[in-house]
């Protein structure tokens, strides 16, 4: 008998990383924009202290995420491809508003569509590194230890602050688009539930009942819960 199967797509660490990353980005955004005097909520000194602590937490999380991606082979999910790239763009621009079928299907080996691969790769290789490096330069220029930072010969922090702020706006734009796209699954909450539980119904994936049972047993056994 053929039927669609529920697959354990997102492992324990993947969900832990996702939600902690979201929390840290939220904290960094709230405190960061207050440091730039966009509003007054916590007070400048408190905002700086919380921002710096959240930044170190974010860096530690990145280190663990890099280790997990390379030890599990999940880094392959971000390899860019041009297959269905234009179709995916047309789907987001027009098809999604006409209930058109999704041009790509999610699988365990391909969780991201072509546009997601490009955007996520850009974040991981460009935006996030720029944010981290500019943030560290800003942090250690203001609070130097020894003479190592002085060797950079930074005359002022304006360019660093502008780069860091530009990166922050890029991350915020991604978050807003991401929040919208999570509502475009089978139901308005299906994508959200998948990132909470790890299990997701994949479109167009059919299997024999025995194979489905074996797959659920296998994926449950391989999970990190």
Rounded to an integer, what distance in angstroms lies between the CA atom of residue 199 and that of residue 207?
16
Q: What does the alpha-carbon distance between residue 103 and residue 87 come to, in Å, rounded to a whole number? A: 6
| Per-residue DSSP letter, 37 | T
Q: Cα–Cα–Cα angle for 213, 216, 219, nearest 5°? A: 145
Domain count, the chain: 1
Mean pLDDT of the region 105-130: 92
Domain containing 65 equals: 2-222
Per-residue pLDDT reduced to its tens digit, 174-195 = 999 999 989 887 788 989 999 9
Q: Tell whether the model's pLDDT for residue 9 goes beyond 70.
A: yes
pLDDT tens per residue, range 121-176: 999 999 999 999 998 888 776 544 455 444 455 566 778 888 999 999 999 999 99
pLDDT for 176 equals 94
Task: Output the domain CATH number for residue 163.
Answer: 1.20.950.20
Secondary structure (3-state) at 135 = helix
**Percent of the chain scored above 70 by pLDDT?**
81
Confidence of residue 207 (pLDDT cuts 50, 70, 90): very low
CB contact set of 137 (below 8 Å; sequence gap of 6+): 149, 152, 154, 160
Say what the pLDDT of residue 186 is. Answer: 79
**The pTM is what?**
0.80
3-state secondary structure of 73: coil
The rounded distance, in Å, linking the Cα atoms of 50 and 45 is 9
Per the prediction, the chain carries an average pLDDT of 83
CB 190 within 8 A of CB 203: no
Flag whether pLDDT at 117 surpasses 90: yes
What was the pLDDT predicted at 157? 73
Task: Please tell me the predicted confidence (pLDDT) of residue 170.
Answer: 94
pLDDT at 223: 42
Q: What confidence category does residue 217 fall into, taking pLDDT thresholds of 50, 70 and 90?
A: very low
| 195: Cα separation from own chain's centroid | 12
């Amino acid at each position: 008998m053929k039927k669609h199967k529920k697959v354990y797509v997102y492992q324990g660490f993947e969900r832990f990383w996702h939600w902690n990353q979201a929390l840290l980005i939220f904290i960094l955004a709230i405190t960061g924009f207050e440091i730039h005097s966009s509003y007054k909520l916590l007070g400048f000194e408190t905002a700086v202290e919380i921002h710096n602590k959240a930044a170190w937490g974010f860096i530690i999380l990145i280190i663990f995420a890099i280790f997990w991606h390379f030890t599990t082979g999940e880094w392959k999910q971000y390899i860019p491809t041009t297959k269905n790239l234009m179709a995916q763009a047309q789907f987001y621009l027009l098809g999604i508003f006409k209930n058109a079928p999704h041009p790509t299907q999610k699988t365990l080996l391909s969780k991201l569509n072509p546009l997601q691969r490009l955007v996520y790769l850009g974040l991981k290789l460009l935006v996030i590194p720029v944010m981290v490096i500019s943030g560290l330069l800003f942090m250690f220029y203001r609070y130097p230890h020894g003479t190592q930072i002085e060797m950079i010969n930074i005359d002022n922090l304006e360019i660093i602050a502008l780069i860091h702020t530009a990166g922050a706006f890029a991350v915020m734009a991604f978050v807003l688009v991401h929040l919208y796209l999570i509502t475009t699954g089978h139901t308005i909450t299906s994508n959200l539930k998948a990132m909470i539980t790890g299990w997701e119904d994949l479109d167009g994936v059919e299997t024999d009942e025995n194979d489905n049972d074996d797959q659920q047993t296998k994926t449950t056994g391989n999970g990190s819960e």
